[in-house]
């Protein structure tokens, strides 16, 4: 398979097995990430969301947060978070308000529509055969990914 043909994998499942079985694990992980990301991106777009919006809603699920706090949690700049919140606000997924004690501070709260969208996205991720529903043990898979990311991040930081 030529470089850049990874997304075509999803369109030819009958031809994938033999070729893919010979790939190194790093390549498998990279292609799987791109294929799943594209499919999840399409799912989210159909609900007026982006990956950035989804992670923002995730961090708002337990209660309101400041825009700055969300930027830190999502590991993006304040400007990027501002655009993400603006998009979520226009879509009815969040509401913004000024802090009564500090007018420079913006508080962001998830709406019922945002909570429904987050619930649907989480369910789709776990149960859809085209996303991660094909994984035999979802929780084990998540733990393995977290361990991999933590190890890679620690190694990179050293």
Give the global pTM.
0.73
pLDDT for 36-82, tens place per residue? 889 889 989 988 899 999 999 999 999 999 999 999 999 999 999 99
Q: How confident is the model at residue 16 (pLDDT cuts 50, 70, 90)?
A: low
Dihedral of alpha carbons 27, 58, 81, 92, sign: positive
Residue 55 neighbours by CB distance under 10 Å? 16
Give the strands of the sheet with 106-110, arranged side by side. 65-66, 106-110, 94-98
Q: Which tokens sit at 143?
A: 């733990």
How would you class 42 by CB atoms within 10 Å of its CB: exposed for 0-12, middle for 13-18, buried for 19 or more? Answer: exposed
């Amino acid at each position: 398979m030529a470089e850049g043909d990874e997304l075509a994998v999803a369109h030819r499942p009958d031809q994938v097995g033999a070729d893919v079985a010979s790939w190194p694990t790093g390549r498998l992980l990279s292609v799987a990430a791109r294929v799943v990301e594209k499919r999840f991106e399409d799912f989210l777009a159909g609900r007026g969301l982006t990956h950035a919006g989804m992670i923002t809603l995730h961090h708002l699920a337990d209660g309101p947060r400041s825009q700055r706090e969300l930027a830190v949690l999502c590991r993006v700049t304040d400007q990027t978070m501002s655009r993400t919140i603006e998009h979520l606000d226009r879509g009815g997924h969040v509401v913004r308000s000024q802090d009564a004690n500090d007018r420079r501070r913006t508080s962001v709260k998830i709406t019922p529509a945002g909570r429904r969208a987050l619930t649907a996205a989480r369910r789709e991720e776990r149960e859809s055969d085209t996303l991660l529903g094909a994984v035999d043990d979802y929780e084990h898979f998540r733990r393995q990914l977290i361990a991999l990311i933590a190890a890679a991040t620690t190694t990179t930081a050293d």
